[in-house]
A and B are shown apart, each in its own frame.
Chain A
């Protein structure tokens, strides 16, 4: 409707399209200008059903809470006791997820090790191999075994406290690692056996096995090489969790790490992050069901990751059946990633604090997701370690607070029946009744 003020006709409010939104239009313009897909870091940013849509009921006349401090609420967990001589004992059920040296700076990896060790938990190497700093500063280190096999060697394998065979991750189920030339410094290049400054292409499948029948043989080999001493985890994205967990168990895994689409990556195609995978809330029940059907719940541990942010998320994951959770993005934010104090620099990069995700460019103002020596100086690993420890402690205390309110003396004793759901999606995905009802979509015997 055109405006003709002289005739007194009012203007309508300009309306943006929900389909062709500002974000979408800028994506289209970018694609037209560059001819390359958009690459970024982080996990799915779109709005998804999450743990926020679940609530705990707490104590009442029928259920009594535990006193804080005096009445214990245990948070410890043991991972990998099924076959390994030396399972991993964690003081808290929150581990640090795999993130590569290469994606992160050496000091950032050191900080993760310091913080995790101070909190009594483990860290995990990433798609680049084990660094001496990380092994030196981590009391418990899980060594990832990835399709790329960058830096893989038996000496490091034997230094690890556990091995995590990576089949996939939540940000890109079916995608391999990606590290662009800007971050392939001399040190990274040497570790990965690549020419400096090139864009790393990565395999999406393991080079020497395909399928769970072969995986069983690979697990045997890794056990033989490490003398059956350490647990073997299998990490999968939450693609087909019921089948994937079943097959991981049948192949011989001691623990399964399950990663939802909110799980971050250092770099991959934005379209992969946003359109492939499932919300973390949706993958946990089928995974737990698979373990229960095999009689393996609590015998093969389930570690859930992908958008875990607070003690509430930890408690909800445990209530739905996980043995532990892993954090990646949250750990980086605790270290100082996307901190508003660098706002001017974010603006100079064309972004703003909280939205910065071009980690692949290696220009991180916080000095965490970069290999640039000048930027790295801004990050103090000792201070970073302290911040991570604080954050882990807070999450643990939050989870304990909730558990005590539900009358539990161990986080593991949280159950699905302690929860209610606020939305239909959350109720259906987690099989938790809507608040005020005893019903969820798909409840057997209810005709839905």
Chain B
């Protein structure tokens, strides 16, 4: 059980403040999830480059010389920015797979938090304000981002159990609720070769979307079929390179509030999370309908399509 926040900026002038705004939204949701917190920020892309964010519980050892080691592996310069237990690696486009494969040999404690041209995921055990401070999220800028604060239901409180989960390049997922058929789905996905690390039900939701998209579905189609294949209570907020999406299960008991102005589209588990956004008094505030996929993109017009009964 948890708190979710999301912010999609329409006004470029707000981009430098994305991290600050998301941090404030996330901290108001602390009561809903004291165990761990995470944020996904879609920030600046660099031409011909892509990013990997890695984490280690022993960063001093793991990150020492990591950029050099990876530069050798990919045959070109890899740069690194360290933020506490996480490191952002900037690699030449197309070298992600090679870099990922090399990581366990360089240091077995390294875990991949995210991969993508624009996406960076930071997550750790701890209260939202401490997690945000650790990575200095408030200083980050970007076009959109999602955040999550967790109260673990049936799996352990660990770094890898925290959300957001990286489901594919530039894609991520956060979840509020409790899936009831995640064990069977996990077995099925693992049989199909999908890598799932934890016993966390959300990770299964994320892996399920990745799997659907690997088989050719669009994100919208994957979210629509999730309404059939996933059982339980869920509100999902997903991030993609150019936008973000929201879907609630057909019973729709877990809370969800959205707000839209000319400057942004925002999501929160409670209205409290949105209360300090600019212009909130005049925003259009509404609750997403059950079993309906909502999607906002910087590239195309926003959509919402209701799943046929």
In the bound assembly, the distance between CA atoms of A211 and B153 in angstroms comes to 9
Verify B154–A250 contact, CB threshold 8 A: no
Verify B3–A250 contact, CB threshold 8 A: no
Given A210-B233, A213-B1, are A250 and B153 neighbors across the interface (CB < 8 Å)? no
Verify B151–A213 contact, CB threshold 8 A: yes
Q: Does more than half of chain A's interface fall in helix, strand or loop, or is it mixed?
A: helix
Verify B154–A214 contact, CB threshold 8 A: no
B253 contacts chain A at the CB level, 8 A cutoff: yes
* Nearest opposing residue in chain A for B252, CB measure: A210
Given A247-B1, A250-B34, are A212 and B151 neighbors across the interface (CB < 8 Å)? yes
Verify A211–B233 contact, CB threshold 8 A: yes
Q: Name B3's contact: one of A212, A213, A246, A247 (CB within 8 Å).
A: A213
Verify B153–A210 contact, CB threshold 8 A: no
In the bound assembly, the distance between CA atoms of A217 and B255 in angstroms comes to 13
A243 contacts chain B at the CB level, 8 A cutoff: yes
Provide the residues of chain B in CB contact with A159, threshold 8 Å.
Answer: none
B177 contacts chain A at the CB level, 8 A cutoff: yes
Provide the residues of chain B in CB contact with A205, threshold 8 Å.
Answer: 253
Provide the residues of chain B in CB contact with A213, threshold 8 Å.
Answer: 1-3, 31-33, 151, 176, 269
Q: Does more than half of chain B's interface fall in helix, strand or loop, or is it mixed?
A: loop
* Nearest opposing residue in chain A for B153, CB measure: A243
* Nearest opposing residue in chain B for A209, CB measure: B253
B178 contacts chain A at the CB level, 8 A cutoff: yes
* Nearest opposing residue in chain A for B149, CB measure: A213
Q: Name A243's contact: one of B31, B33, B154, B176 (CB within 8 Å).
A: B154
A240 contacts chain B at the CB level, 8 A cutoff: yes
In the bound assembly, the distance between CA atoms of A246 and B32 in angstroms comes to 14
- Chain A 200-220 against B: per-residue CB contact (8 Å), 1 yes, 0 no? 000001000011111011000
* Nearest opposing residue in chain A for B176, CB measure: A213
Verify B154–A211 contact, CB threshold 8 A: no
Chain A: number of interface residues, binned into ranges? 10 to 19
In the bound assembly, the distance between CA atoms of A246 and B35 in angstroms comes to 12
Verify B254–A211 contact, CB threshold 8 A: yes
In the bound assembly, the distance between CA atoms of A246 and B150 in angstroms comes to 14
* Nearest opposing residue in chain A for B35, CB measure: A250
Q: Name A212's contact: one of B153, B233, B255 (CB within 8 Å).
A: B153
In the bound assembly, the distance between CA atoms of A205 and B255 in angstroms comes to 15
Provide the residues of chain A in CB contact with B253, threshold 8 Å.
Answer: 205, 210-211
* Nearest opposing residue in chain B for A212, CB measure: B1
* Nearest opposing residue in chain B for A216, CB measure: B31
A210 to chain B, nearest CB (A): 4
- Chain B 177-190 against A: per-residue CB contact (8 Å), 1 yes, 0 no? 11000000000000
In the bound assembly, the distance between CA atoms of A217 and B31 in angstroms comes to 9
- Chain B 8-40 against A: per-residue CB contact (8 Å), 1 yes, 0 no? 000000000000000000000001111000000
* Nearest opposing residue in chain A for B155, CB measure: A243
In the bound assembly, the distance between CA atoms of A216 and B152 in angstroms comes to 14
Q: Name A211's contact: one of B31, B34, B177 (CB within 8 Å).
A: B177
Verify B154–A240 contact, CB threshold 8 A: yes
In the bound assembly, the distance between CA atoms of A372 and B206 in angstroms comes to 57
B136 to chain A, nearest CB (A): 27
Which 7 interchain pairs have the tightest Cβ spacing?
A213-B1, A210-B253, A213-B32, A211-B1, A212-B1, A243-B154, A213-B151
B residues with a Cβ closer than 8 A to A are: 1-3, 31-34, 151-154, 176-178, 233, 253-255, 269
What are 24 A-B residue pairs whose CB atoms fall within 8 Å in the complex? Answer: A205-B253, A210-B233, A210-B253, A211-B1, A211-B177, A211-B233, A211-B253, A211-B254, A212-B1, A212-B153, A213-B1, A213-B3, A213-B31, A213-B32, A213-B33, A213-B176, A214-B255, A216-B31, A216-B32, A243-B153, A246-B152, A247-B1, A247-B153, A250-B151
